[in-house]
Structure 1
Amino acid sequence: MSEWFRMTLGDFVDLQRGHDLPSGRRVPGTVPVVGSGGITGWHNEAKVSGPGVTLGRAANLGVPTLVQGDFWPLNTTLYVTNFRGNSVRFVYHLFQVLDLGGFNSGSVQPMLNRNYIKSFPIRVPGRAEQAAIAEVLRSLDEKIAVNERIASTADALARTHYERERCGLVGQTERLDRLARVVVGGTPSRANPDFWNQGTVNWINSGKANEFRVTEPSELITEAGLAGSSVKMMPPGATLIGITGATMGQTSRLEITAGGSQNVAGVWSEDPALNDWLFYDIQARVADLTKHASGGAQQHINKKIITDLDCVVPDAPKLDEWHRTTAPLLARVAHALVENRTLATLRNALLPQLMSGRLRVKDADTAENAEGTVEEHV
């Protein structure tokens, strides 16, 4: 096994503040513009050759972004100007586990100052073990990315089949509450620990409506929390609709059994074919929901707006035919995302162990580029 070395962050890599690039000065192109939260836009000119790593400097303090190609780092970031022979991906993963949020040097706005973090103590292995660790984590990240592309492609194909079938339907509308069940949920009292502590019931908030598919809960509540609140349980296949504030009009598909908050509505049918059709039909009709929203600063879609939505549905034979084509695609989406949940759990468990040296990649001293096997090191 290679030796691990103690040093400071300033000895390990060089950091520099990013560069101004107001939106009005950006020219459409293929170069990513990277801010404190990741890629925020595109430009026709690069400021830095990739691959590279940025850190959130203003907001998201210390949160890293890995950029594979050339890029433009904004002044809301710090970026690595010299990796000093270290593995780029290892540097990225190291920043993932470092807690730099306490180095806030701003008085009004949070700010990460590179001079404040230069003396931050770290412990890192030699280049060969860096590469081996990075390869283990890279293989997991890339498999997750492949699954995301598979899910996105399968979903796009299913949507195309929906749109093609939908074009042939004229005047065949039905009010949504005559086709499916519509519920609005609730939130158990936060003041009652019996509703939350050691919960086993999946519960989701409205932020989940922003997700491609919901494969895990926001939090867990107890059976007492479920019974003592207006939370409604929803089955896999339900369409979720954000009905308040920032997520109003956002939709997602539920892939688990879960209850929802008062800021999310759920729609589902007992018929799997109709359930799948309604998922795409509701997505296509979001504008018809949001145009009836009420409220001032906090816009809201009430339940009646959803139940009154006129949906277009094929007759039973055509719906069954459409479903025979799309069901395998939707099953592929669900399979890819469930697998990603397992892979992400594994990666998140391995990350701090590998980056601290508590787990070691076998034969890292001689394997510059190998997935390797992981063994415990105490």
Structure 2
Amino acid sequence: MNEWPVVRLDEIAAAEKSAVSKPYGSAIVRDDYVRDGVPVVRGVNLADWRFRDEDFVFISEDLADTMPGSRLQPGDLVFTHRGSVGQVSMIPRGPRFPRYAVSTSQVKARLDPARALAEFYFYWFRSPVGRASILQGVSTVGVPGLARPVETIKGLRVPLPPLSEQRRIASVLGVLDDLIEVEERAAAQADELWRVVLAAARHDRESVPLSSLASFVNGKNFTKGGGTHGLPVIRTPEVRNGPTSSTVLNDVRASAENLADPGDILFVWSGSLLASRWRWAQGLVNQHIFKVIPNMGVPDWLVLWAIEELMGDFLSLAADKATTMGHIKRADLDRVVNVPARSAWEDLDAMIRPYWDDALSAQMHASDVAAARDELLPLLMSGRVRVSEDLAVA
């Protein structure tokens, strides 16, 4: 175990008064938004532990100047204190914009570079212990949040390894994150390419019911009786982001049609509708999710593409039922979609299959690296695994 001293976060914060702060003095509200100006960093920019340098709202330079505590700079940590409490991200070292502002649902923390490396503490708060240190201060009355966000963030207890060790740990984890990003980008490019090939195809078209292309097998309530052993239960969050520490496990026996393996197509038909190719290890398909099994001779890429073509219609249908829970009915699967003529499928598959397979392979590799990173992270942060000076794990 490590023998690192433990300090309060504000003990390693930068010297300026607003090193740990939120935009006091003026609240940013919707009426303050302008077309161009200073981008406001919100929860949507911090999802999945990544800083998403897009989907911003903007405020004017003049308004931002009235809130000096809201100013963000490269290396600042950003904590969500209301709603998705526990979200933490870091303003990138090579930012897209010269200036950012933190929203009223976030708190920034600027660390003293002479004592603390922002990247290390970004990873610390991703670890189970670091994340738990934030969540223990959450009030669950109404919208989850920290009652005194700035004071809570200032008082978080964190380890203080030597700066050289902080750099080595952050470097190892950063290399893994870089590899994940490369694989994710490769998968996105391959997925885009097969869709480009399909869109550019000059073949005859025919209109067919979506239900004629595949079987849509509804999942079962595998969360009932679930626990901490067995296969992961695939709910909407898992379809979107894969299994996490909060995923329910179940060791129940299930038929093949209720199991999802890498490459299988899943269609969430209730709540937040989405269709996606499963990329993680085998799991149990929960209720409100279809496992989509292509009919004999129908390419899997064609089935996913056809669902995506109708997704706008499905979303409209679900919105009409939003007073309960937005969903579609099985009869809606009989909607007609315009697809290439069956005579063209073999030729198209010869062109599309390599891209489809490359995308899945890259996604699976990214998921494997992410799993290895997540296993290594708490070991590094606890000192049970040390990093030597040449960045080899000792």
- TM-score under structure 2 normalisation? 0.78
* Superimposed CA distance per residue, residues 87-124 of structure 1 (whole angstroms, 9 cap, x where no aligned partner): 12112122323212222479755225332453444322
The structure-2 alpha-carbon separation of the partners of 1:17 and 1:52, relative to structure 1 and needing over 3 Å to count, comes to: same
The answer to whether the 8 Å contact 1:151/1:336 transfers is yes
Provide the aligned length of Structure 1 versus Structure 2.
353
Answering whether residue 58 of structure 2 is matched by residue 43 of structure 1, we say yes
Instruction: Confirm or deny: 8 A CA contact 1:184 1:303 kept in the other structure.
Output: no
SS at match of 1:251: strand
1:8-23 counterparts in 2 under 5 A?
8-14=8-14, 15-19=19-23, 20-23=27-30
Native 8 Å contact 1:185 1:263 kept in 2: yes
CA deviation string 1:239-292 (max 9, x = no partner):
3222112x13x1111346544222112322255752211111210111233444
Does 2:186 correspond to 1:157? no
Whether 1:137 and 2:173 are equivalent positions in the alignment is yes
- Contact 2:184/2:363 (8 A) holds in 1: yes
1:55 Cα offset (Å): 1.1
What residue in structure 2 maps to residue 366 of structure 1? none
- Aligned residue number for residue 355 of structure 2: 329
Q: Aligned in 2, Cα 1:64/1:291: closer, same or farther, shift over 3 Å?
A: closer
C-alpha RMSD of the superposition: 3.2
CA–CA distance in structure 2, aligned partners of residues 288 and 121 of structure 1: 50
On the 8 A contact 1:273/1:323 being kept in 2, the answer is no
Give a deviation string over 1:311-362, Cα, whole Å, max 9, x none. 3333444211111111111111111111112111111112122122222111
Amino acid at match of 1:254: W
Task: Give the 5 Å matches for 1:223-242.
Answer: 223-224=252-253, 226=254, 232-234=258-260, 236-242=262-268
Q: Are 1:174 and 2:200 an aligned pair?
A: no
Map of 1:262 onto structure 2: 287
* Deviation (angstroms), 1:59: 2.9
The letter of the residue matching 2:7 is: M
State the alpha-carbon separation in 1 of the partners of residues 239 and 37 from structure 2.
Answer: 29
- Equivalent-residue separation in structure 1 for 2:337 and 2:167 (angstroms): 54
How far apart, in 2, do the equivalents of 1:6 and 1:81 lie? 18
- The question of whether the paired residues in 2 share the 8 Å contact of 1:361 and 1:374 is answered with yes
Q: TM-score, normalised by structure 1?
A: 0.81
Structure 2 distance, partners of 1:119, 1:299, is 42
Q: 1:183 aligns to what SS in structure 2?
A: strand
Partner of residue 305 from structure 1, selected from 316, 321, 332: 332
Moved more, 151-160 or 254-263: 254-263
Counterpart in the other structure of 2:230: 199
Inter-partner Cα distance in structure 2 for 1:186 and 1:3: 48
Return the alpha-carbon distance in structure 2 between the equivalents of residues 88 and 9 of structure 1. 11
Per-residue CA deviation, residues 289-324 of structure 1 (Å, 9 max, x unaligned), is: 344446433122111211x12233334442111111
Does structure 2 conserve the Cα–Cα contact (< 8 Å) formed by 1:215 and 1:338? no
- SS of residue matched to 2:107: strand
